[in-house]
Structure 1
């Protein structure tokens, strides 16, 4: 109950006095003693006069709970399933632990957690990805060690850095699915993954175009303007990613427990038509990048000077496609 703030001051004061009377010790005692209406004043359950008429020990042993009306859209369904699990326990069909877990699963939304107490797999995955991302950044040091230069001749040192940053972005996008899912996390998971793919593959495309077996204008221009070439592709990526922000994602609850007694979870959902268009545009752009890269790999597969590098790129491409 509450008191409206838009009523007259005199009415507010009168309502306060009414509340004081309704919650007074004497009136609560009368309701409890004469009408067996439970009270939140627990000291009354130690009153000898009250306990002469009711079983105070019984009432003190009760553990009242509130209805989870704000946590479920269909309370009747929740109530029915709640009682079912309790009856299953009472009749010996399931254990107490199973019954409590089933009750919790009705409304609990499961999520990826990095807390080892909640999910050991989530914790191990988080640690592994973190170590891998840091290791990839640290590995860039070898680019500036002369003894390792022969192993990194395929790309210029700045392209290797761009390539590694792209790989790290794709790895770190996984962190956005840890904890509670939000529209922000959904949006930037897509952007980080998309940007990571572009940063990872565009330097390779640039190098393969430069190494094209037959002399042509595009290869010659790319050789002279390789940074501008990369900048063009990244600018397109930034524009598409920016447009995708105009129509953000929403988070949808999947009530798997009510369907097959599974675990409830959340997914990212794009309901807006323009948002879906931008996502398809992003996917089309990635398809073009991967198709061009695959075609160039096919054309240059038998070039001996870059044979090892070509096979390595193909392995990386297959790995990224599998993980994505």
Structure 2
């Protein structure tokens, strides 16, 4: 007896250990009432198979359905999306609506290499490529295919000698005839056609199906909403509703359709293919013309959560292979009058005795619910797409307005060279291009004998750099044209920074080499102009080129239904290099301002100082505008582009006019009698040189005499005072002493 209990105890312990070692994977799915009896038997069958094969894997299934929750398929999609976004490990196997592969794809385990190519290739290639692939990787496999079909009442068709319609026109004609005849017999309980353009989940599919049915051939892709085919299809929805239906009839929900399939109280009905009343025969959804199928494949995929543990992922792969195997699909899917995506099953006589294989074959290549959009929020797009179509169908909205609203859901507005959404795009493009051409052609002035004297202050190299800088800045506007991209955002501001630096090089060089006093720095710059230019170009190019590799933040704004991709700012290290670039620009402006004050009375800069002053003022204003412009929230693409373009034009053209073209204007406007007498100018202003020198000397002497009285004064304050006095002294000089002597001697020799 004791031995018996010992055996029982060992048996219990053994089973507990085995239970502990088994892997439990959790699965979640959504199912309508007609699919509730499908998933549970398959899961039970796998658990038996696992036990028999000693896989030690058990599936725990959670099913959300209208019967046991308040959620719809859209709510389920949101639940799954939230779980995956949080990288939840709550569920390992996820059944999801096939059209969401693009949304969920990054969260699923790629199956390539984990499941044999032979297994994947069993399934319809179009289904795999359209609904199971993300980033060129297979991230799920089809579990079931739901094909929408036309249910035709055989009794009524046979009664009046009519055939199953293959086109929408035939459907309308047959419906009108039979319904009128039935009314004569006082049969008012039947409806002609449900449409199924309801507020529920099926509404969007019905719209997609009808648009698909207006393709030119079954091999064609889904017609774009802007196409004539799509617009004719949308018009057909309204024609069907008005001629053989009604608002209430077309807004019938799924449950009403099921009841009419069971009761036979409809002439034609559109619904998913499933086991049904034998009074109805099923066929493909009609098309604009015979032979074009409107039937669209929906259905569910099964995928593996990439955030699950490695052990659970390995177990989930075994479960996925079993559920999607040909034997399981035939035994549990086909037998339930549900379509599978395994093409070879429709050449199986036994399978075709259970399901209408011709519907599947006639729909080839199988169209799927795929809007072919590269957007993040597909659920929101679907909701708005349906809403706008219904505004036309039920509320008599203008179709052109509806089409524009739908296009605006995925369209990003921008300037276009030809046509486009605003006439300002082509206008600004022409203006910018003309200015660039004028700037380029004006390069000839530096070689023309008439204008050469005005350009002799610097070598042609510097004037070419200045022109090039203005042209580069102007070209930044071209990044506003065409579809927006991260690359365009990255290069837009660096183009302005670099061009601005190039345009200011001559200004900085002029002010340094004309410093009022002979010094080593000025002499170095005179003798090493190419090295100076190379250093500036290298620094600016390095800073701005680095920005091209920085992450960039782009925000999407919507104004009056028009989407706009706005370049916001650089991220990570790009923010630092962007700050350094701005710092260099401000540093160059401050440097120019100080040198301009110091060189104000230098005779060689007599024609430069006021233009440079204006240049600095405009540059400061433009930089402020750019920074304010970047910080405020502008949602209108048109306003953003206008402000940016005008500011760039002012920025670039001002530099061009005040640095380069003003010299041409001076020559054209100059009176021949107004020759500048440099020696007289120096003599006239010599008093300022003498006054400054003596003043500075007296101040220095005074400071020495009173040094003892101000010993408590800080060294910093004395140094600042000396610098201030020196700057003021330089400000009043018309030239350095060496230059004055040389000019005077040369003038006397000329006499």
Q: Normalization by structure 2: what TM-score?
A: 0.35
Alpha-carbon displacement from aligned partner over 1:42-81 (angstroms, at most 9, x marks no partner): xxxxx952039x9734488872796647354334544554
The 3-state SS of whatever aligns with 1:32 is strand
Say yes or no: does 1:129 pair with 2:129. no
The 3-state SS of whatever aligns with 1:214 is coil
Match of 2:575? 276
Shift of 1:139: 0.8
Match of 1:24? none
Alpha-carbon displacement from aligned partner over 1:111-160 (angstroms, at most 9, x marks no partner): 12111354321112111111211211111111111111233234322111
Match of 2:497? 194
RMSD: 3.6
What CA distance in whole angstroms lies between the structure 2 residues aligned with 1:35 and 1:303? Answer: 101
Match of 1:230? 533
What CA distance in whole angstroms lies between the structure 2 residues aligned with 1:160 and 1:83? Answer: 60
Say yes or no: does 1:290 pair with 2:589. yes
What CA distance in whole angstroms lies between the structure 1 residues aligned with 2:162 and 2:562? Answer: 49
Shift of 1:246: 3.5
Of the two, which has the highest radius of gyration? 2
What CA distance in whole angstroms lies between the structure 1 residues aligned with 2:117 and 2:470? Answer: 62
Shift of 1:228: 1.8
Does the Cα contact within 8 Å between 2:555 and 2:565 map onto a contact in 1?
A: yes
Of 230, 233, 255 in structure 2, the residue corresponding to residue 63 of structure 1 is: 233
Does the Cα contact within 8 Å between 2:413 and 2:421 map onto a contact in 1?
A: no
Of 540, 547, 556 in structure 2, the residue corresponding to residue 254 of structure 1 is: 556
Which structure 1 segments of 5+ residues have no match?
A: 20-29, 37-46
What CA distance in whole angstroms lies between the structure 2 residues aligned with 1:222 and 1:97? Answer: 66
Q: Within 5 Å, which residues of 2 pair with 1:88-167?
A: 91=395, 95-167=398-470
Which structure 2 segments of 5+ residues have no match?
A: 1-97, 99-111, 128-147, 155-160, 173-209, 215-231, 235-293, 295-368, 623-646, 649-751
The 3-state SS of whatever aligns with 2:488 is helix
Residues 126 and 205 of structure 1, relative CA distance in 2, 3 Å threshold: same
What CA distance in whole angstroms lies between the structure 2 residues aligned with 1:142 and 1:214? Answer: 32
What CA distance in whole angstroms lies between the structure 2 residues aligned with 1:255 and 1:140? Answer: 42
The 3-state SS of whatever aligns with 2:585 is helix
Residues 262 and 150 of structure 1, relative CA distance in 2, 3 Å threshold: farther
What CA distance in whole angstroms lies between the structure 2 residues aligned with 1:184 and 1:254? Answer: 16
Shift of 1:190: 2.7
Shift of 1:168: 0.6
Q: Using CA pairs below 8 Å that are at least 6 residues apart, which structure has the higher relative contact order? A: 1
What CA distance in whole angstroms lies between the structure 2 residues aligned with 1:35 and 1:148? Answer: 93
Shift of 1:209: 0.8
The 3-state SS of whatever aligns with 2:233 is coil
Bigger Cα displacement from structure 2, 241-250 vs 208-217? 241-250
Bigger Cα displacement from structure 2, 112-121 vs 287-296? 112-121
Shift of 1:214: 2.6
What CA distance in whole angstroms lies between the structure 1 residues aligned with 2:436 and 2:117? Answer: 61
What CA distance in whole angstroms lies between the structure 2 residues aligned with 1:181 and 1:88? Answer: 31
The 3-state SS of whatever aligns with 1:245 is helix
Does the Cα contact within 8 Å between 1:33 and 1:50 map onto a contact in 2?
A: no
Does the Cα contact within 8 Å between 1:244 and 1:278 map onto a contact in 2?
A: yes
Shift of 1:238: 2.4
Q: Normalization by structure 1: what TM-score?
A: 0.75
What CA distance in whole angstroms lies between the structure 1 residues aligned with 2:520 and 2:121? Answer: 84
Match of 2:287? none
Say yes or no: does 1:209 pair with 2:508. no
What CA distance in whole angstroms lies between the structure 2 residues aligned with 1:70 and 1:116? Answer: 23
Residues 67 and 6 of structure 1, relative CA distance in 2, 3 Å threshold: closer
What CA distance in whole angstroms lies between the structure 2 residues aligned with 1:126 and 1:265? Answer: 19
Shift of 1:267: 2.4
Shift of 1:274: 1.0
Say yes or no: does 1:170 pair with 2:170. no
The 3-state SS of whatever aligns with 1:147 is coil
Say yes or no: does 1:51 pair with 2:221. no
Shift of 1:172: 1.0
The 3-state SS of whatever aligns with 2:164 is helix
Of 535, 542, 547 in structure 2, the residue corresponding to residue 239 of structure 1 is: 542
Bigger Cα displacement from structure 2, 101-110 vs 162-171? 101-110
Bigger Cα displacement from structure 2, 77-86 vs 165-174? 77-86
Does the Cα contact within 8 Å between 1:154 and 1:309 map onto a contact in 2?
A: no
The 3-state SS of whatever aligns with 1:119 is coil
What CA distance in whole angstroms lies between the structure 1 residues aligned with 2:532 and 2:151? Answer: 86
Aligned length: 292
Shift of 1:269: 4.6
Match of 1:6? 116
Bigger Cα displacement from structure 2, 238-247 vs 278-287? 238-247
What CA distance in whole angstroms lies between the structure 1 residues aligned with 2:514 and 2:561? Answer: 53
What CA distance in whole angstroms lies between the structure 2 residues aligned with 1:154 and 1:70? Answer: 59
The 3-state SS of whatever aligns with 1:63 is helix
Does the Cα contact within 8 Å between 1:206 and 1:230 map onto a contact in 2?
A: no
What CA distance in whole angstroms lies between the structure 2 residues aligned with 1:212 and 1:114? Answer: 48
What CA distance in whole angstroms lies between the structure 2 residues aligned with 1:216 and 1:319? Answer: 31
Shift of 1:283: 1.1
Shift of 1:290: 1.5
Bigger Cα displacement from structure 2, 134-143 vs 117-126? 117-126
Alpha-carbon displacement from aligned partner over 1:184-205 (angstroms, at most 9, x marks no partner): 2222223322211111112210
Of 173, 181, 198 in structure 1, the residue corresponding to residue 484 of structure 2 is: 181
Bigger Cα displacement from structure 2, 208-217 vs 162-171? 208-217
